[in-house]
Amino acid sequence: MSRRHLGIFTAAVLAAASLTACGGSGDDSASSPKTLTYWASNQGASLEADKTTLQPELDKFEKQTGIKVTVEVVPWSDLLNRLLAAAASGKGPDVVNIGNTWSASLQATGALVEFDDAALQAVGGKDRIVPAALAAAGAPGKPPAAVPLYSMAYSLYYNKKSFADAGITAPPTTWEQLAEYGKKLSTGGKWGLAIEGANPSENAHHAFTFSQQYGGEWFDSAGKPTFDTPQNVSAIKRYIDFMAADKITNPSNAEYAQNQSVSDFANGKAAMLLWQSAGSNLKTQNMPADAYGVAPVPFLASPPAGGKKVNSMVAGINMAVFKHTKNKDGALSFVKFMTSDEEQTILNKTYGSLPAVKTAASDPAFSATEQKTIQETLVTTAAPLPQVPDESTFETLVGTAMKELFADAASGKPVTEESVKAKLTDAQQKMR
Amino acid sequence: MATSTTAPDADRREPRAGSPARGPARRPRGPRRSLLPYLLLAPAVVLELAIHVIPMVVGVWMSLLELTQFHIRDWSTAPFIGLENYRATLDLNSAAGKELLHSFWVTLAYSLLSVGFAWLLGISAAVVLQRPFRGRAILRALFLTPYALPVYAAVITWSFLLQRDTGLVNHVLVDQLGLMNERPFWLIGDNSFWSLLVVSVWRNWPFAFLCLMAGLQNVPGELYEAAAIDGAGFWRRLRSVTLPMLRPVNLVLLLVLFLWTFNDFNTPFVLFGGSAPEQADLISIHIYRSSFKTWDFGSGSAMSVALLLFLLVVSAVYLLITNRRRDDHA
């Protein structure tokens, strides 16, 4: 090879090299015994609103312990990636909020402090914690990888005035009713049901509930994916059909991924919404609490054999501590502080969620209709998402497949059993 | 890369300059003297290693491991699986392989069209603005605006414009001009590819414009005068004077634009929010999704390495052909 050719090849290598040269960036953990870094999930109407809510509590903690907590509120779209980068690099925050469905996935990285009996004792004791919430904090048979912080469940929110105008007297209790009412409500530029169609996580949560009602499972007992079973195909098709067949959902919802569906409900553009603890969000969007009703999520009118009476996942936010923290004692005392009765009452009241500890549940703030509905669902008809390491991958793959199906439905392409099955088979093939 | 265009001349001169008449006899080789060039080179070599070579080698190493969430914290525990990641991602009978191939074609079409349109707009604007006229400076500044805007801010604005119900594009097309009865989707379905292309051309053409404008400054006015005396019209002058004189600029410009668009991550990521519709599933987003969203960094790296090899071949072939042609012309 001549020198010129060598030069050419060097130039080509360098020009093309930028591709693989992608690196992660991790924030440096600024921990010393007197400081902690905390990544909070976005629970309120905006990142800024959350910071305003949390800061006085963190100041209180600093007064009590002398430990200064620096908080960053991370949007949901970035949280899992950032946690993964922190786990991979061993750098980043000391304490984090995680979606409880990711518990087993993040636990599998081995980056989180395990809450064995001693660690649980250090944060106030196992017995205080609501058992269903603790069950969603890690894989079965292992010490939890996190401690429950906020408890939530899906409910059906409906616009009282729209219902009255359409002559509907009670919220639907079955999906068939919901479709029928939805058709009555979808007139004059308004729609029956708002859906966050381009948000894979939201989609995956509904995939779980519908699949349970149709008698399906997303993983078998060995943790292997079972995405394209007939039950799961029927379940997904039922959900997509609200847009594709019943036409009670605005096709635009196929683009929604930034909580626009909540805004549509708050602005009266849609009469129904399936959401977790939407109350505080609706309040900031100027929808008064007496303008909407809250009811349990519907069931199938005649469930097939094996169908379960499940209408929500056990939703919630957990608090985890990274093993790489240089201030484990401080981190644990911060977890203890955040799960104390007082903080649980203050924070859950603001966010409209339920306390994850039994001892705070008696506060009158948690007996409003919305909270009572959530409570009842959690106790009777909610089930945890499968706590397997591949759970977060399931959310991404199946949630994205559903996003694509919504896009098909929105652009008028038919959504059939075959097209749903094909998407789910593809998604399953990408698991390993 | 710009230096490579002058390399052959340097090559030819070199033997004379380094002829045996001068050389070792007159330069005593002390250890200090021979160290100096290396010391001077060291910072560049270290940076080159740190920024390009080491991450590349790490990327290749990752592609040979089963690097999933179970091992991401401690790579040494990740099982070595040889070429298994390549087999899985490049197997065209599997779902993953088919999607990668689809994504590859989409990216190729996107890159060629985007570079083509960006170049066409760039050369048109550069030629129009070649001669001084009132307001030329303002137009120049205006044309460069998309290039000066931060990419995230600019593309987010596009994503607002292109939304179906609340976007300005549909408001103008449907509500004001009444060109369509139904509001079309721009960010999902078949239109998403064209939306992405428009945004990409909008972002890239000012760079083409800037380079070509600079290139045009070097074209001597006498050439145009001579051509005009010979009776050449506008098109003839463009074909016989402007374009040949811009050849060295175009050579670099087209390659750089192609590599940039082929690797473009920001535009689709911001426009579609992480997971692009399959019609606009560019390979960079596809790899990101495979690595980060499904926590499978091994196969993500395998795709990256395959892509690196492809771009390497494209760049090398391109440079070889263009160099050979120049030699023929010389």
CATH of the domain at A63: 3.40.190.10
Residue B296 has its nearest CB partner, among A8, A403, A432, at A432
- B263 interface with A at CB cutoff 8 Å: yes
Residues A283 and A190 in one domain: yes
- DSSP state at residue A385: P
Task: Tell me the residue range of the domain where B218 lies.
Answer: 49-329
- The answer as to whether A410 is a domain residue is yes
Residues A254 and A180 in one domain: yes
Residues A356 and A406 in one domain: no
Residues A134 and A45 in one domain: yes
Question: Using the beta-carbon criterion (under 8 Å), do B273 and A430 form an inter-chain contact?
Answer: no
- The answer as to whether A345 is a domain residue is yes
User: What residues of chain B lie within 8 A of the CB of A88, using their CB?
Assistant: 72-73
| Number of structural domains found in chain A | 2
pTM over 0.95: no
Question: How far is Cα B281 from Cα B95, in angstroms, rounded to an integer?
Answer: 15
Q: What strands, in cross-sheet order, belong to the sheet with A147-152?
A: A68-74, A35-41, A95-99, A315-321, A147-152, A354-355
- The answer as to whether A199 is a domain residue is yes
Which tens digits make up the pLDDT trace of A74-109? 988 789 889 988 998 888 899 999 999 999 999 999
- The answer as to whether B108 is a domain residue is yes
- B59 interface with A at CB cutoff 8 Å: yes
- The answer as to whether A166 is a domain residue is yes
Residues A283 and A164 in one domain: yes
Listed by number, the residues of chain B in 209-238 with a beta carbon closer than 8 Å to a beta carbon of chain A are none
Which tens digits make up the pLDDT trace of B109-160? 999 999 999 999 999 999 999 888 898 999 999 999 999 999 999 999 999 9
Residues A274 and A409 in one domain: yes
| Number of structural domains found in chain B | 1
User: What residues of chain B lie within 8 A of the CB of A392, using their CB?
Assistant: 69, 295
> Any bridge partners for residue B304, and if so which?
none
Residues A208 and A336 in one domain: no
Q: Is the ipTM of this complex over 0.85?
A: no
Residues A424 and A278 in one domain: yes
Q: What's the whole-number mean pLDDT along residues A31-59?
A: 89
pLDDT(B11) > 50: no
Of residues A167 and A12, more confidence is placed in A167
pLDDT(A273) > 90: yes
Task: Tell me the residue range of the domain where A94 lies.
Answer: 35-151+314-383
**Are B218 and B247 contacting, i.e. CB atoms less than 8 angstroms apart?**
no
- The answer as to whether A5 is a domain residue is no
Of residues B253 and B131, more confidence is placed in B253
**Are A354 and A375 contacting, i.e. CB atoms less than 8 angstroms apart?**
yes
User: What residues of chain A lie within 8 A of the CB of B185, using their CB?
Assistant: 251, 254-255, 407, 410-411
CATH of the domain at B79: 1.10.3720.10
Residues A135 and A158 in one domain: no
Residue of A5, A19, A323, A390 best to disrupt the B interface, most CBs of B under 10 A: A19
Residues A412 and A281 in one domain: yes
Collapsed DSSP state (helix, strand, coil) of residue A54: helix
- The answer as to whether B14 is a domain residue is no
Residues 6+ positions from B259 with CB-CB distance below 8 Å: A15, A16, A18, B311, B315
* Other residues' Cβ atoms within 10 Å of the Cβ of residue B179: 8
Residue B187 has its nearest CB partner, among A11, A105, A255, at A255
**Are B165 and A252 contacting, i.e. CB atoms less than 8 angstroms apart?**
yes
Residues A305 and A399 in one domain: yes
Residues A202 and A262 in one domain: yes
pLDDT on residue B23? 45
Domain closes at, from A367, A383, A399: A383
Question: How far is Cα B8 from Cα B58, in angstroms, rounded to an integer?
Answer: 35
Residues 6+ positions from B131 with CB-CB distance below 8 Å: none
Mean residue pLDDT of chain A comes to 90
